[in-house]
Structure 1
Amino acid sequence: MSVQSLVSRKKKSFIGLPAPLGYVPGLGRGATGFTTRSDIGPARDIDDISDDRHAPPTKKSKNEEDDEVDLNEANFDEFAGYGGSLCAKDPYDKDDEEADAIYEEIDKRMDEKRKERREMKLKEELEKYRQERPKIQQQFSDLKRDLASVSEDDWLNLPEVGDARNKKQRNARAEKFTPVPDSVLARAAQSQGQSTSITDRDQKYGGMNTPFGAITPLGTSTPGGDIDMKKIGQARNTLMDIKLTQVSDSVSGQTVVDPKGYLTDLQSMLPSHGGDINDVKKARLLLKSVRETNPKHPPAWIASARLEEVTGKLQAARNLIMKGCEECPKSEDAWLEAARLMPGDQARAVVAQAVRHLPTSVRVWIKAADLETELKAKKRVFRKALEMIPNSVRLWKQAVELENEEDARIMLSRAVECCPTSVELWLALARLETYENARKVLNKARENIPTDRQIWITAAKLEEAHGNTHMVEKIIDRALNSLRANMVEINRELWIKDAEDCEQSGSINTCQAIVRAVIGVSIEEEDKKHTWMEDADSCAAHGAYECARAVYAFALSEFPSKKSIWLRAAYFEKNHGSRESLEALLQRAVAHCPKAEVLWLMGAKSKWLAGDVPAARSILALAFQANPNSEEIWLAAVKLESENNEFERARRLLQKARASAPTARVMMKSVKLEWCLGEIRNAKTLLEEAVKHYPDFAKLAMMKGQIEEQLGNKEAAREAYNHGLKRCPQAIPLWLLSSRLEEKSGQLIKARSVLEKARLKNPKCPELWLEAIRVENRGGLRNIAQTLMARAIQECPNSGILWAEAIYMEPRPQRKTKSVDALRRCEHDPHVLLAASKYIFWAERKVVKAREWFNRTVKIEPDLGDAWAYFYKFEIMHGDEDSQEEIKKRCVNADPRHGEHWCAVSKDIKNWRLRTEQILPLVAESVPLPT
């Protein structure tokens, strides 16, 4: 034994001894201590009920405490020994006990004071905690409660538990089988066909075993080596059966897939029918139940047949509907459905059976006639039907339609005998008869049907067609009297509708006679004028202009002195009548209302537009006699002469007007005429006189300032504007002219101050705000302009011109958003619509949309010339000549007078002779393109 072994066998001195205080195993070689759950025990919530596994240490008895004495030298006292304090061992006397009892009582009282509140708070916290972190038994309490209502069959039908492994785990060990391609099978068959010997296994099974255990008979081939396709098909069917068996669910014998009817159901589905096959099955079962429950219910058979028809089983549908016809032989719908489903000859046979069962069914006879292809056969069917049902109006009408005129007349003669209460048959017969016979037919019709108004109206149309216009009025009056005698209510709306129909058919006298007869029926005296005007507008809207004309004529005969009715009638003739009818109406109008200046002026203008200037002058002369010193007639006469280049006559008329009827407008027209003719000195002289007499007429100050500007006298113009503003502080155009004068002079600050002063005197005026914004924009101060725009919209939130300018000032990406806000505020404002048309659609090259919005704008406000100018320019760039001419024609008819760009061109002195069709291209050329 070696020395080393002896040393190893010697017992170590530290083995079995306790570890030193603070010793941590492995700390010297860098290991750190750690704490496990077994060291600290299980973690618990504060609110959980504690158990006694870790109970606190029990209190020691008094004797044990006395026995335990700290014998440390630091606790030794020479006087008291190891006992510590002399007072520590004092007895617990009664005073101490009484004090503790008192304090304990106080603690109880204090605890009871807030006990209920504390308990409620603790309960709420506990409930909140349980809601946030419920126990597992609480989470499934509702499901456990529902288990009480589960039946025994439901328990037995619970599905088997599936494989809980994920897809990767399931596929790890699963066997995978891949179908053998047909090419491999073909090569294998060929090789086997060429082989001279086969194994016992091949002899037994004739092929190879499938992985599922099913034997696939593929090993045989024809003597020539060809593939046996029949056996390949059988093998595939076998594989499909195996797959269907695997898919089937084996719980309580229920199957998810029907292995037998799966392929046949798939083949029965039509691609055109997008329904689910399960829905078809359910519907088929439901309908079968209905048929078995109530076999005499025809809709069940019809629905079943249509279901089969939809799913493509036409023969099954035919069989079902024929079965339904046997069960319900008295059902029209069943027989008609059967005839629809059957092919040609069979359909006729089905209808023949239907006729035997339902000889009085009109629909069946009509179906029988429709199935016939030859006209003679159709006529034969209808005649047979009329023998069975001679009182059917529908059969008579369809039978008559197939006949020629002579035979139709004969048949209608018989038809009115069989159906004497059919108005249509009587009227049809009257149309085919001669004039004398038609009158007799209508008289018989009135005897048989005394309560129908159409017979009377047809009689009136018949008389009118043969030139007996004097009889029309009598027939309509007799009709109303006869109907009232037979207790028939006269409905004026229906009669007016009949009058409109008469006008459409060309019976003008009849329609007017009807209007005159019924227009006053059931109307109170105070409502007559209002109701008749509505009737005239309604007839005009329906295109019945003769009816509207008759309404106006009757109203004027009742109220001959009403100027408003004459005006509406005149405007109606202007829009829908001829020049001759308008002039004739105006002659009658001025005879009844000689003081109505507008009627005289309309007559004079009509003559002037027709080129008959002397007649226009004569009308105005008569108007002077009826209305002496009338300003409107004086100015109309002046315009007539100036438009026809009779400037001297116009000057003399104005001179007479200033002498006899000196008004501010007469003075203004005098100044304008001299200004347009280039006589500036005469114009200034007249202005001085006019300003003295009419200092409060703002247009005189505007004209004076503009004339001075034209002459280059800016100081005189400024003085004229200031003088006008002192007398007319509410004249907005005067403020704008003054501001623009200062801006042209380069004094931007002064222009700004003028507009600010104008806004103080005229608050909430969008025109002044707009001009202030544009002044800043023209001066290059865009930030100030944006600030002013915000203030302007805040003060005038519904101003269309401000919103339009706001859209223009926005960058292009933000314009659409701003236009949405503008349209929300001003939905039907033409300025906003025009801005959207220009900046949203035209600028983005959306031609169709832009054209649509331009049309909306000019329809909402046809008097806005700027909209027509932009629309015309848009058509010049993106349209053709036809669209441009259409816009120009519509603009001329609208005759616009307003618009910033339009007024700048039309009110220019250079263009005072231009008409609307000449101004439109100039304005379109001056407006800027949208950017």
Structure 2
Amino acid sequence: MASNKPNKLAFLSMPAPASYVAGLGRGASGFTTRSDIGPAREGPSAEVIAEAQARRGEEQEVDPEQFQDPDNEFGLFAGTTYEADDEEADRIYEKVDDAMDARRRARRCAQEQIEMAKHRAERPKIQQQFADLKRGLSAVTDSEWENLPEVGNLTRKKRRREERAYVVPDSVIVGDRGKNEFENALDPRQNEVCFDTAADPGAMTNFIEIGQARDKILSLKLDQISGTATTSGSSTSIDPKGYLTSLDSVIIKSDAEIGDIKRARMLFDSLVKSNPKHAPGWIAAACLEEHAGRMVAARKLIKQGCEMCPKSEDVWLEAARLHNNDDAKVILANAVQHVGQSVKIWLAAADLEHDVKAKKRVLRKALEHIPNSVRLWKETVSLETSASDARILLARAVEVIPLSVELWLALARLEPVERAKAVLNKARKAVPTSHEIWIAAARLWEQVASGQPEAEKLSQYVLVDKTIASAVGALRQHQVLLTREQWLKEAEKCESEGAVRTCEAIVKATVAMDIEEEDQLDTWESDIDGAEARGRVGTARAILAYALKVYPNVKHLWIRAAELEKAHGTRESLDNILSRAVQHCPQTEVLWLMGAKEKWLAGDVPAAREVLERAFIANPESEQIWLAAVKLEAENGEVDVAKQLLIRARDVAGTQRIWMKSAVFERQHGDFDAALQTVSAALKKYPKYAKLYMVQGQIHASQKRYAAARQAYAAGLKAVPKEPALWILASRLEELDNKSIKARALLEKARMVNPGVDTLWAEAVGVEERSSGANQAKATLARALQECPSSGLLWSMAIWSEARPARKARSVDAVKKTNDDSLVLCSIARLFWSERKIEKAREWFGRAVARDEHDYGDIWGWWLKFEREHGTEEHRELVRAKCAQTDPHHGPVWQSIAKDDGNRGKHTKEILELVANALQ
């Protein structure tokens, strides 16, 4: 029965299409083999291939040469001329394209970034996917890394396990067994001289011969040491120290250094062979051999360099350096034949001579060859011991080299005054553009004036000023325009060399150059600051004098001049400045007060009174002058005169401070009733002046009339609630009366009225410490630091409230929070003191007083207390002197002692001693 199923293999018997080529789809084509007879059939044509690809849906490849002009190989317009208008057109089109592209470039870039971010969010990179895992690897310990399991077979394919067994040789077992054994029996050959080495059984080592050879070599080396061996007859003595020093100087080179030397030697060898006229190559090659320790090779190389480069002075100098003294003389003698115009060669030859006469002979021979060398003339003159011989040489030198300013000035310094003037005149004519000659002439006039009487000095000093003024004009005519800063540098140079009057003349003639009138004062003040900072007090004084001449009514310039003279001048110069100052600025009170104080300190009390009398005439209502007069009389024992002055002051000036000082003066001299009457009268005129209430309360408290004192403070708090010191005095009064609760309440109310005042918080901490203990005080201090986080007073208390181990960390926080407050620095110095770090403590005390902006005297007291324990008398005197110069007025302990009635009239040094005694 026939089957209806189609035969799948029937196509094999079907004829192939006419255009069918076997393997055409995979790129096959017809070919010919040796076994073929005749040519093989041709491959399909291009049309057939295109038709077949079209049936498969493949796109035809576009021929890039399809649209090419057959007559033009490179382009359609390649044969035409590219002219300037074509270039301009292309450039315009490029600009248009760039402008169109830039219009939406920012928006396009932003859109691309958004799309890229979106794409990265949807399909992140593999490294981003594993970023958190990578970060987690940082926490993996070394033990966890070592315990990571080995990667097994993950292909899930069964592998054939091959297990092989090997037989261990007996030699391995025996060797392993005897590895840790040791022998306790001696080798029977130990008594023999020769031993067989384990490395080479056939080699023999004779240790006795090695020791003898070592001793022989050492003795030969000792005999060959130069400079350390001295031979006398047949005996040789060695300096052991010199030999050990020479052994220390021996450099043992490593293999790497030896390799570097060999490579460098090859490079330098190639250099000198390829360019034998290059002098630095020979020098470098010789230095390399010197570094390698081959002095003979180095000298040989540098000799060849001298032959190849005879015109190079550096080669000759290097050759002289590499040889000893006698050979170097011969080498430099040969060098002179080739480079006789080299100053360095002649100077090196002179340095080789140890005899002064020989040096002179060499240098004079050099001057015959090079007569216009300033350096040779200077070296020749420096060897002369006689001034007359040096003068003769310099006279010849300036004839040969008339343009050398240095030689002219040297000759002028050696000549007498009259002949020096003539020399400088000749120099000025020879070198009219040199300002040094003019300055030397001015200094010569100053030198002449210094040896004359006082009456004639002024006329000579006028010549100094005229000389410098002429110098400025003459140099300007010759187009030599030195700037103002250059002239001031010359002035400072003259001051440093002792020519102060010449310095002043230069300042007078040039300090106003090239400055606008409105900028003069500021510029001169900055010049004064700079000169004083560099230690040029004479220059600063001269600039200040010129500024006062231009601006005589500017009071802060006079104050500046007085301070400068007080710091660096004499008492006479200060008196002179102050006398001139009060003439030009009679309304400036501080100038009168400075003048009176200087007279008083000098011990001339009548002169101080005279100054104050003149000050009264110029300033009849000046509070400061009245109080200064009262202080002067009171300090000198004239109490009645001081009282009369205060009465007149209250009538004439009548300021609140004068009334307060009157009450204090009465209290200090024991007249409490008069003091209270004065305070009562003053309060009627000035009810808002807090210090009057303080004085009234202190007088009542000193007489133990606490109710009256409390009433005085209460009236003051009602009238002036914003005065912290009044609240503190009221609190201390209650604490003195054993009423700590009321004192605490007063301070609480004070902090509400005056928020953020650190002194009120500090007083509250002290009250808590005295009444409730350290814990409550520490809690109050913590609250205080929250409200006043940058208070140096509170942070210094916080440092000492901590236990000893925590104080250092607390001090670090305090320095950061308070920006180097002086009280914090003082506390840190005391910490170093407690740890017995003396130098650090002294350094920090110095920093504390340098940073003191609050005028605290307690810091000086702590420093003096420290120096009493660990310093010398010089240290203590230095602290006293600096404290007296600073004259502090604040600080809890300082004020309590300075304002004590029993300490009135005491100087700053005396109060400092009392403060140091009182500090705990």
Tell me if both proteins adopt one fold, taking TM over 0.5 as the criterion.
yes
Give the aligned residue type for 1:837: A
For residues 370 and 305 of structure 2, what CA distance do their matches in structure 1 show? 26
Pairs within 5 Å for 1:565-644:
565-644=557-636
- Give the equivalent residue in structure 2 for 1:55: none
- Give the equivalent residue in structure 1 for 2:311: 330
For residues 545 and 121 of structure 1, what CA distance do their matches in structure 2 show? 74
What is the total number of aligned residue pairs between the two structures?
A: 725
- Give the equivalent residue in structure 2 for 1:284: 262
**Are residue 377 (structure 1) and residue 358 (structure 2) matched?**
yes
Contact 2:189/2:195 (<8 A) preserved: no
Per the TM alignment, residue 711 of structure 1 is displaced from its structure 2 partner at its CA by 0.6
For residues 211 and 875 of structure 2, what CA distance do their matches in structure 1 show? 74
* 1:413-432 residue CA offsets vs partner (Å, 9 max, x unmatched): 12122222221111001111
2:369 equivalent among 388, 399, 403? 388
* 1:309-346 residue CA offsets vs partner (Å, 9 max, x unmatched): 34444334333333333333333333222222222212
Contact 1:664/1:690 (<8 A) preserved: yes
For residues 153 and 195 of structure 2, what CA distance do their matches in structure 1 show? 59
Where do 5+ consecutive residues of structure 2 fail to align? 1-118, 138-147, 155-171, 215-245, 450-459
- Structure 1 residues 174, 717: closer, same or farther in 2, change over 3 A? same
1:457 equivalent among 415, 429, 439? 439
- Give the equivalent residue in structure 2 for 1:164: none
Higher mean Cα deviation, 587-596 or 743-752?
A: 743-752
- Give the equivalent residue in structure 2 for 1:193: none
Contact 2:321/2:328 (<8 A) preserved: yes
Contact 2:367/2:373 (<8 A) preserved: yes
- Give the equivalent residue in structure 1 for 2:25: none
For residues 325 and 885 of structure 1, what CA distance do their matches in structure 2 show? 69
1:411 equivalent among 378, 393, 402? 393
1:645 equivalent among 634, 637, 640? 637
Question: Aligned with 2:192: secondary structure?
Answer: helix
Contact 1:273/1:310 (<8 A) preserved: no
Pairs within 5 Å for 1:487-566:
487-566=479-558
- Structure 1 residues 461, 212: closer, same or farther in 2, change over 3 A? closer
- Structure 1 residues 124, 899: closer, same or farther in 2, change over 3 A? closer
| TM-score between the two structures when normalised by the length of structure 1 | 0.72
Question: Aligned with 1:763: secondary structure?
Answer: coil
For residues 177 and 407 of structure 2, what CA distance do their matches in structure 1 show? 89
- Give the equivalent residue in structure 2 for 1:364: 345
Contact 1:269/1:277 (<8 A) preserved: no
Per the TM alignment, residue 549 of structure 1 is displaced from its structure 2 partner at its CA by 2.3
* 1:500-552 residue CA offsets vs partner (Å, 9 max, x unmatched): 22233332321211111111111111111122222223333333333322222
- Give the equivalent residue in structure 2 for 1:84: none
| TM-score between the two structures when normalised by the length of structure 2 | 0.73
Pairs within 5 Å for 1:97-176:
172=176
Per the TM alignment, residue 354 of structure 1 is displaced from its structure 2 partner at its CA by 2.4
* 1:48-74 residue CA offsets vs partner (Å, 9 max, x unmatched): xxxxxxxxxxxxxxxxxxxxxxxxxxx
Pairs within 5 Å for 1:677-692:
677-692=669-684
CA RMSD of aligned residues (A): 3.6
**Are residue 432 (structure 1) and residue 417 (structure 2) matched?**
no
Contact 2:630/2:645 (<8 A) preserved: yes
**Are residue 856 (structure 1) and residue 834 (structure 2) matched?**
no
**Are residue 675 (structure 1) and residue 679 (structure 2) matched?**
no
Give the aligned residue type for 1:738: A
For residues 122 and 557 of structure 1, what CA distance do their matches in structure 2 show? 81
1:444 equivalent among 399, 402, 426? 426
Contact 1:287/1:303 (<8 A) preserved: no
Contact 1:269/1:312 (<8 A) preserved: no
Contact 2:596/2:609 (<8 A) preserved: yes
- Give the equivalent residue in structure 1 for 2:804: 812
**Are residue 714 (structure 1) and residue 706 (structure 2) matched?**
yes
For residues 605 and 896 of structure 2, what CA distance do their matches in structure 1 show? 31
Higher mean Cα deviation, 754-763 or 544-553?
A: 544-553
For residues 827 and 536 of structure 2, what CA distance do their matches in structure 1 show? 38
- Structure 1 residues 353, 183: closer, same or farther in 2, change over 3 A? farther
- Give the equivalent residue in structure 1 for 2:203: 216
For residues 834 and 130 of structure 1, what CA distance do their matches in structure 2 show? 53
For residues 474 and 555 of structure 2, what CA distance do their matches in structure 1 show? 37
Contact 1:270/1:312 (<8 A) preserved: no
Question: Aligned with 1:828: secondary structure?
Answer: coil
- Give the equivalent residue in structure 2 for 1:737: 729
For residues 316 and 924 of structure 1, what CA distance do their matches in structure 2 show? 76
Where do 5+ consecutive residues of structure 1 fail to align? 1-115, 140-167, 190-206, 220-225, 234-267
**Are residue 927 (structure 1) and residue 919 (structure 2) matched?**
yes
* 1:783-817 residue CA offsets vs partner (Å, 9 max, x unmatched): 33333323322322222111111111111111111
- Structure 1 residues 694, 183: closer, same or farther in 2, change over 3 A? farther
**Are residue 778 (structure 1) and residue 766 (structure 2) matched?**
no
Contact 1:304/1:320 (<8 A) preserved: yes
Question: Aligned with 2:519: secondary structure?
Answer: helix
Per the TM alignment, residue 708 of structure 1 is displaced from its structure 2 partner at its CA by 1.0
Contact 1:186/1:227 (<8 A) preserved: no
- Give the equivalent residue in structure 1 for 2:382: 401
Per the TM alignment, residue 854 of structure 1 is displaced from its structure 2 partner at its CA by 1.2
* 1:747-801 residue CA offsets vs partner (Å, 9 max, x unmatched): 2222222112111111111111222222222224333333332332232222211
- Structure 1 residues 462, 175: closer, same or farther in 2, change over 3 A? same
Give the aligned residue type for 1:859: A
Give the aligned residue type for 1:665: R
Higher mean Cα deviation, 909-918 or 335-344?
A: 335-344
- Give the equivalent residue in structure 1 for 2:59: none
- Structure 1 residues 683, 210: closer, same or farther in 2, change over 3 A? closer
Contact 1:800/1:829 (<8 A) preserved: yes
Contact 1:360/1:389 (<8 A) preserved: yes
For residues 169 and 833 of structure 1, what CA distance do their matches in structure 2 show? 77
Give the aligned residue type for 1:408: A
- Structure 1 residues 169, 669: closer, same or farther in 2, change over 3 A? farther
**Are residue 898 (structure 1) and residue 903 (structure 2) matched?**
no
For residues 635 and 126 of structure 2, what CA distance do their matches in structure 1 show? 100
For residues 388 and 177 of structure 1, what CA distance do their matches in structure 2 show? 87
- Structure 1 residues 334, 639: closer, same or farther in 2, change over 3 A? same
Per the TM alignment, residue 824 of structure 1 is displaced from its structure 2 partner at its CA by 1.8
Per the TM alignment, residue 741 of structure 1 is displaced from its structure 2 partner at its CA by 1.7
* 1:417-473 residue CA offsets vs partner (Å, 9 max, x unmatched): 222222111100111122232222212222222222110000111122123333211
Question: Aligned with 1:466: secondary structure?
Answer: helix
- Give the equivalent residue in structure 1 for 2:838: 847
| Rg larger for | 1
- Structure 1 residues 314, 804: closer, same or farther in 2, change over 3 A? farther
- Give the equivalent residue in structure 2 for 1:908: 900
Per the TM alignment, residue 706 of structure 1 is displaced from its structure 2 partner at its CA by 0.8
Contact 2:261/2:292 (<8 A) preserved: no
**Are residue 319 (structure 1) and residue 300 (structure 2) matched?**
yes
- Structure 1 residues 362, 715: closer, same or farther in 2, change over 3 A? same
- Give the equivalent residue in structure 2 for 1:188: 192
Contact 2:592/2:611 (<8 A) preserved: yes
- Structure 1 residues 516, 475: closer, same or farther in 2, change over 3 A? same
Contact 2:265/2:288 (<8 A) preserved: no
- Structure 1 residues 726, 129: closer, same or farther in 2, change over 3 A? closer
Question: Aligned with 1:215: secondary structure?
Answer: coil
* 1:276-300 residue CA offsets vs partner (Å, 9 max, x unmatched): 3313321331243133134444334
1:867 equivalent among 859, 862, 867? 859
